[in-house]
Chain A
């Protein structure tokens, strides 16, 4: 597999740029020195809780927001330095599925207009008939009847709207699709439908897929590799087997064990983290996780652990990743 996207030292700080006279809020370091690659045809999941920067990362990868540091190299092109016109054309190769099925479709435009919008913007359809044909094809690919074409979004359920959003994203045959928590707003019985749909589309069309989620269970079926984020940094990155089977970072383990599972016999020898997630305006020094980490040591306050390889393809950002393998779950206080 070759590399499609190379992310180098990416960072994004949101400063309070309002013009008000009241004291400025401290800047928010949403993404902090993130580097990784996305391979062609793979599904990479980015998982973390609120405030970890995963949504910001997704948008940075598509250059929907400009980075404060670092760069994103898409198929050899540094998209963070592209002039506006070229960037717009580049968007044909990278698309997004949004979290909010109700907000991501313009309420006053018909389904057909919404799905065809990328096709029209990039000049890929020449006539109205061609446009309608393509839309009908796309609707079929996402499992919706073509009769939906002329209706407005408000007549559809969340699951159906998400399908429409997916149809829009794949309409231009992109090489890269970012899905930002695409099933979080949906009912449980619909989530499986949408996850399966995306999995099928990814397999048949072969695009690289970045799936952002807050729940490790949701991505388990669909991901090839998983990146776990905390307060703007990647704390663990590895294949599915590595991250689920042999997690090396205490936060990953906490995520895995604290999610309630529909299994009444699963005994809770879980790690329940104490305290709250620190505010992204006041990220702890050294390792940001140290305030809640069951195995924090003095070095964690002083030195920030780099994301380093623990084994082939498996990187962890923890001073003790080597010394404490999975059995740490038992030894944690």
Chain B
């Protein structure tokens, strides 16, 4: 008994799949391509992010000066060939500080959401899949955490335990986790109802494997969207915190404390404030644009 597949081997069709044929679902490579290159804005955003990451990674190589090196002879200099963005009140090269400052932003912007995603997804999936008392306990925990605004939490922890950089990374991770947990839990509840999960149980697959193989891959889409969106928030929050003196401690540069130092010195030179502010704005904007594009591409998949 043989079945003839449609002549071009293209998309076969059925009552339920009719719509899909008119809007074919792309594979992973195409999906990434669609996200990054669909519009001029996303192309620019992608370039910006790529630059941002490159700068952060290559900071020691490309920064013209040691960001901590002070020079009393060079204070508050305007932009020149030696100092493209001028110097601050301690004679430190602003450009090098901005370059090095990107590192902290990168860590916050990538690491915190990533760690939070892992922690949150694990909690959410476990709560959603097992239900019952496990769900109740985890959900209460999530709700409690969610009650604290990130900024406030960070300030509290800083006041209690000291505002070092890594303390704040941990705090932000904890603060972001509930958001991911909620989304993961909701998606898990939906996926749990899907026939293929039941089919896996009937096939004798053990529970841990079911979760890893069948549940997690199918809930990743909203998690990825959330991660890109929170990435932008994380960078903004880092800047705010270091502006407030929490997080990156002086003299280490961070875009936030560059702005703060610049504020104290505003009438002597405006470059620190302007360049710090622009750096934050550009990167946050770029990530947000990518995040929107990610959501647009993955959303039809989510809502199906």
Contact = CB atoms under 8 A, between A and B. Distances in A.
The reply, when asked whether chain A contacts chain B directly with Cβ atoms under 8 A, is yes
Interface of A: 19, 62, 64, 88-89, 91-92, 95-96, 98-109, 117-118, 121-122, 143-145, 154-160, 163, 165, 168, 185-187, 193, 196-197, 200
Nearest to B200: A117
Given A64-B201, A158-B16, A160-B12, 6 more contacts: A89-B204, A91-B204, A99-B195, A106-B196, A106-B213, A168-B203
A201 B280 CA distance: 65
B198 A64 contact: yes
Interface in B148-189: none
Contacts of A121: 203-206, 209
Nearest to A109: B213
A56 to B, nearest CB: 13
B218 interface: yes
B196 A157 contact: no
Most buried by A among B13, B16, B209: B16
Interface of B: 1-3, 5, 11-17, 20, 25, 136, 194-196, 198-206, 209, 213-214, 217-218
A168 B218 contact: no
Nearest to A94: B202
A154 B196 CA distance: 13
A157 B13 contact: yes
B206 A103 contact: no
**Ordered nearest first, which 3 A-B pairs have the shortest CB separation?**
A157-B12, A158-B14, A121-B204
Contacts of A107: 196, 218
Given A106-B213, A185-B16, A96 B202 contact: yes
Q: What secondary structure prevails in chain B residues at the interface with A?
A: loop
Contact of A197 (B1, B196, B198, B199): B1
Given A106-B214, A108-B218, A187 B14 contact: yes
B15 A154 contact: no
Contacts of B195: 98-100, 103-104
A20 B25 CA distance: 37
Given A157-B12, A185-B15, A64 B214 contact: no
B204 to A, nearest CB: 4
A102 B12 CA distance: 13
B218 A98 contact: no
A180 B124 CA distance: 31
Nearest to A143: B1
B199 A168 contact: yes
A95 B201 CA distance: 10
B205 A117 contact: yes
A241 B200 CA distance: 37
A186 B203 CA distance: 23
Contacts of B194: 103
